[in-house]
């Protein structure tokens, strides 16, 4: 993501761009901030290919984990992301 995009996702929190980037780099699926960050990336990035470019394969695996997908309110979007996860990561 470009500079400022991550902080725009978290406009309602007082987190710096660096704190959000560190959270992405840590990629901890048990951290609530990480889950929220991936949720907001999935919901606010309209182009799927932008998500693929923005996240590493390991980050994408975490972003498409059940922990993150289950936080999305729309059942239709949950199904779409589960489908994408099953195609990208058939071993999960």
Would you say 9 and 40 are in contact if contact means Cβ atoms under 8 Å apart?
yes
pTM of the prediction? Answer: 0.88
The Cα 48–Cα 14 span in angstroms is 28
Count of other CB atoms within 10 angstroms of residue 68: 21
Work out the average pLDDT over 66-81: 96
pLDDT tens digits for range 28-52: 999 999 999 999 999 998 888 999 9
- State the pLDDT at residue 1: 52
Structural domain range at position 9: 5-88
The Cα 26–Cα 64 span in angstroms is 16
Is it the case that residue 3 has pLDDT exceeding 80? no
Domain count, the chain: 1
């Amino acid at each position: 993501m470009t500079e400022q995009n991550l902080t725009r996702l978290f406009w309602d929190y007082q987190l710096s761009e660096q704190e959000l980037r560190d959270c992405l780099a840590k990629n901890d699926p048990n951290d609530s901030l990480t889950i929220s960050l991936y949720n907001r990336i999935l919901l606010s990035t309209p182009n799927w290919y932008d998500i693929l470019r923005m996240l590493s394969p390991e980050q994408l695996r975490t972003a498409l984990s059940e922990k993150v997908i289950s936080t999305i309110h729309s059942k239709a979007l949950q199904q779409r992301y589960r489908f994408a996860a099953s195609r990208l990561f058939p071993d999960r």
